[in-house]
Amino acid sequence: MIHVTLSELMVIYLLLLLGGVGTMWVIRKIGTVRSAWRLRKTWVICQACSNHYQDTSPSTLPVCPECGRANERLPIREI
Ligand SMILES: [Zn+2]
């Protein structure tokens, strides 16, 4: 049997609680970053008319709905 005082038990409880909250926060943050990255991959900026449009098709050269130009999927920079 392990002998633990009440103060040690409270410290262990708080450490476990903080560890659980920290783990959940990290998992949630990773999910948020991954979904933002996935969403950013679907947005395309037309190189001719600067129109921003979303294209979820797997084509490598999505066509701009405004001017009809085929554009490359360039990474969108964060500001
Ligand atoms: Zn365009």
CA of 65 to the centre of ligand 1 (A): 7
CA of 32 to the centre of ligand 1 (A): 30
pLDDT at position 49:
94
Number of Cβ atoms within 10 Å of the Cβ of 62? 20
Number of H-type helices and E-type strands within the chain: 1, 2
Kindly list the protein residues that place their beta carbon closer than 5 angstroms to ligand 1, a single-atom ion: 46, 48-49, 51, 64, 66-67
pLDDT at position 76:
72
pLDDT at position 78:
67
Sign of CA dihedral 52, 53, 59, 61: negative
Q: What is the pLDDT of residues 17-75, one digit of tens each?
A: 999 999 999 999 999 999 988 888 888 999 999 999 999 888 889 999 999 999 988 87
Query: Is the CB of residue 61 less than 8 Å from the CB of residue 74?
Result: no
CA of 70 to the centre of ligand 1 (A): 8
First to last CA, the chain: 57
Specify the length of the chain in residues.
Answer: 79
Say how far apart CA 68 and CA 62 lie, in whole Å. 9
CA of 73 to the centre of ligand 1 (A): 13
* pLDDT confidence tier of residue 79, bands split at 50, 70 and 90: low
Q: What is the pLDDT of residues 28-42, one digit of tens each?
A: 999 999 998 888 888
